[in-house]
């Protein structure tokens, strides 16, 4: 499957988009502290939290697939608030982050046995072309 770019909404059946939004245990992000938020992904950029920029790209350009945000349960409400009213928000699931990055990906993947695309929630400059490149890589790989 070669995905031409640009394409307004790419149907990618079976893909799971994993967005890593957690932070290290007992380590506060200095920039998040400066902005008075608990997580770096909640820092505002151009009037929106960083995670909303990422989710806007994902929900706007990808017509199918589950989007899973891995974050600490105590941040669920703040993340839900940051995503409130976002078109396509019904496709977004929150899952508890594990104690490390690799395990967080495994938890977010769950029992899913299809392709995974992994990004971070603070990647505000995420472009559809980057995701399309990863989807092309998934033609011959299990994870991008």
Q: What is the pLDDT along the chain (144 residues), one digit of tens a residue?
A: 444 444 445 555 678 889 999 988 888 888 999 999 999 999 999 999 999 999 998 888 776 678 999 999 999 999 999 999 998 888 899 999 999 999 999 999 998 888 888 899 999 888 888 888 887 887 787 776
Please answer whether residues 109 and 18 qualify as being in contact, where contact means their C-beta atoms are separated by less than 8 angstroms. yes
Please answer whether residues 138 and 67 qualify as being in contact, where contact means their C-beta atoms are separated by less than 8 angstroms. no
Query: What's the pTM value of the predicted model, to 2 decimals?
Result: 0.86
């Amino acid at each position: 499957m070669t995905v031409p770019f640009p394409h307004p909404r790419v149907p990618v059946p079976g893909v799971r988009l994993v967005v890593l939004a957690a932070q290290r245990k007992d380590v506060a992000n200095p920039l998040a502290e400066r902005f008075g938020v608990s997580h770096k992904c909640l820092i505002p950029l151009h009037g929106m939290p960083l995670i909303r920029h990422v989710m806007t790209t994902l929900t706007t350009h990808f017509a199918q697939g589950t989007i899973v945000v891995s974050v600490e349960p105590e941040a669920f409400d703040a993340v839900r608030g940051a995503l409130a009213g976002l078109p396509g928000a019904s496709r977004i699931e929150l899952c508890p982050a594990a104690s490390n990055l690799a395990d967080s990906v495994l938890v977010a993947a769950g029992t899913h046995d299809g392709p995974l695309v992994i990004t971070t929630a603070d990647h505000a400059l995420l472009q559809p072309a980057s995701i399309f490149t990863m989807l092309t890589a998934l033609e011959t790989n299990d994870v991008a």
